[in-house]
Each structure stands twice: as C-alpha cells, then as structure tokens.
Chains A and B, each alone.
Chain A
Amino acid sequence: GQNIDQPTEMTATEGAIVQINCTYQTSGFNGLFWYQQHAGEAPTFLSYNVLDGLEEKGRFSSFLSRSKGYSYLLLKELQMKDSASYLCAVRDSNYQLIWGAGTKLIIKP
C-alpha cells in the first residue's frame, strides 16, 4: 500500500529553526509537495521537489532523497504566524497526490 509518515505534532520557539520530516512509500514517484494549512483554512502550496537536493525559498527550504523515500521541510527564523499544520504529499505513478496526515507545528514565544 501507499504510505506517508509525518510526526503528528512538533513544538518550537519563536526565532528558532525546526525541521519537519516526511517519509514515503508510494507506487511510483512524480514529485513531492509541502503545503501549509492554518486551522480552519485551506492548504496552501509551499514547495515542490522532484530531484534530490535542497530547494530554498526564503525562510523555508525543502529537501528530498528519492533513494531513501525521505523529505524534510526546514523553517528558519520562526514566527508566530508559522503556527499551522504542514502537509507532505507525493504524486504517484498515476499522477494522484497521496497525502500525509500533517504535522501540527506549535510556536511558543
């Protein structure tokens, strides 16, 4: 079966750095996405990786290792507004998105 694993919840301090991990087992791979979802709102796109390595976008970076079935989202200089759930999703061989359950990130002052 297809499976995406992420930690359920993480806590970090304002101004610090946090890394959210995602491991996946899917039938085929056509890219990995990270989305941010604030409580009661729709998911919004953060990053896309299809090749191994690091993609940097401002305070957010995403890393992919296809051989390990592993990705992480790195958030730097954390702000209170970063409190949200972070969803990892993999596009499989049928080009459908398979979603993890999300990681709820709590930022403390």
Chain B
Amino acid sequence: IAGITQAPTSQILAAGRRMTLRCTQDMRHNAMYWYRQDLGLGLRLIHYSNTAGTTGKGEVPDGYSVSRANTDDFPLTLASAVPSQTSVYFCASSDGSSSTEAFFGQGTRLTVV
C-alpha cells in the first residue's frame, strides 16, 4: 500500500541522547516535511525539503537536523535531546504543486526525560 511510514511509533529518550526519527514515502513525492504537534498549538514546521538534495529550515528548526539523500527518505535527527522536544512528530509529503494536499505519516510520540 502506497504511503508514508514513520519509525518508531513511540520512544522514551533520556535527555542528552541522540535520536533519529525515520520517514519513508513511496509516492515519489518531491516535497517532504517534518512537523511537531503540541497540545494547544498548531502543527509547526521544523524542516522541509522541496526535492532530493535540498533542505530548508522551518519555524522551529533549533535542535534538529535533516538530510534528503534520495526522494524516498527524510530522517530527522535530534543531536542532544532536551525535555522541550517532547512532542508528537509528523512527517508529511506532497508532490510539490500548490493545489495538492500533504499526506501524513502516523506520527512518532517522543518523550524526553
């Protein structure tokens, strides 16, 4: 089934540890995004990639990094986790045109303790 897959689905992480959230899509979408969703706040863009080989910073990029080595994969890395990074993380993809919607992965619930 075509779609977008995230791993892990949930994780408890000690502060200071490094963690990579994985995201893979098989829809050949050019654009991919990482969002975090916190209670009472809208989805906030962390990083994005409009096409393989390029990345850009979103609204809340500090403490996070991404890479886009190929079309399908867009991993998000927390270099040294802090409790304020406790959140639900969603990866999304779209074909990049303005009229089409973004498709979301099932989310990763991350707790930093």
Q: Which residues of A contact B43 (CB under 8 A)?
A: 43, 87, 89, 97, 99
**B104 and A44 contact, CB distance less than 8 A:** yes
Secondary structure call for the B interface = loop
Q: Is the CB of B99 within 8 A of A101?
A: no
Q: Does A4 contact B (CB under 8 A)?
A: yes
Q: Mark A72-109, 1 if CB is under 8 A from B, else 0.
A: 00000000000000010101000111111110000000
CA distance A99 to B37 in the complex (A): 10
- Counting contact residues on chain B (CB < 8 A from A), the size range is 20 to 34
Interface size for A (C-beta < 8 A) is: 24
Asked if residues B42 and A43 are in contact (CB atoms below 8 Å), the reply is no
Say yes or no: is B74 at the interface (Cβ < 8 Å to chain A).
no
A45 to B41, CA, bound (A): 19
Partner of A43, one of B40, B90, B99: B90
Interchain nearest-CB distance for A31 vs B (Å): 6
User: Quick one: which of B82-98 are within 8 Å of A by CB?
Assistant: 90, 98
Q: Which of A42, A45, A48, A96 contacts B106 (CB 8 A)?
A: A42
Query: What 1/0 mask marks residues of chain A from 43 to 62 whose CB sits below 8 Å from any chain B CB?
Result: 11100101000000000000
From A45, A96, A101, B40 is in contact (CB under 8 Å) with A101
Other than A89-B42, A99-B43, give 16 A-B pairs with Cβ distance below 8 A.
A8-B40, A31-B98, A42-B104, A43-B90, A45-B103, A48-B100, A48-B101, A91-B98, A95-B98, A96-B48, A97-B33, A97-B43, A98-B42, A99-B35, A99-B42, A101-B42
A residues bordering B, Cβ < 8 Å? 4, 8, 30-31, 33, 35, 41-45, 48, 50, 87, 89, 91, 95-102
